[in-house]
Amino acid sequence: MRRVVTALGALAAAWMLSLALPGPAHSASGDLVLNGRIFANPSGCYRELNAPLSVQNRTGTVAYVFASRDCTGPAQTVPARQSASSAGGHSVRIS
């Protein structure tokens, strides 16, 4: 009986640990090209970019171009598999 209780305790501890560990980070599949620089499987905010900004979104998700340097405020969208340029773009977010 003691072995069963020990085994159940170990299983419960492993299950609790699996809940505490973060899952894999999600990124867009494909490439994001910003001013000629290629980012494979991009994710998050790309900051402090130089304007004018050329964006080639070679992923399956929308990219957002911001005039701010930290991906905040109003955004221009660049749909999946499309390109755009922004005279005042300084940051891009993609998930």
Q: How confident is the model at residue 18 (pLDDT cuts 50, 70, 90)?
A: very low
Q: Is the pLDDT of residue 27 over 70?
A: yes
Domain membership of residue 14 (yes or no) is no
SS3 labels along the chain: CHHHHHHHHHHHHHHHHHHHCCCCCCCCCEEEEECCEEEECCCEEECCCCCCEEEEEEECCCEEEECCCCCCCCEEEECCCEEEEECCCCEEEEC
Domain membership of residue 30 (yes or no) is yes
Domain membership of residue 20 (yes or no) is no
Domain membership of residue 32 (yes or no) is yes
Which pLDDT belongs to residue 2?
A: 55
Domain membership of residue 15 (yes or no) is no
Which pLDDT belongs to residue 1?
A: 56
Domain membership of residue 49 (yes or no) is yes
CATH classification at residue 40: 2.60.20.10
Domain count, the chain: 1
Q: Is the pLDDT of residue 26 over 80?
A: no
Domain membership of residue 18 (yes or no) is no
What is the per-residue pLDDT across 59-80, written as a single tens digit (0 to 9) for each?
Answer: 999 999 999 999 999 999 999 9
Domain membership of residue 34 (yes or no) is yes
Q: How confident is the model at residue 28 (pLDDT cuts 50, 70, 90)?
A: confident
Predicted model pTM:
0.72
> Which domain, by its residues, includes 68?
26-94
Residue type, 48: E
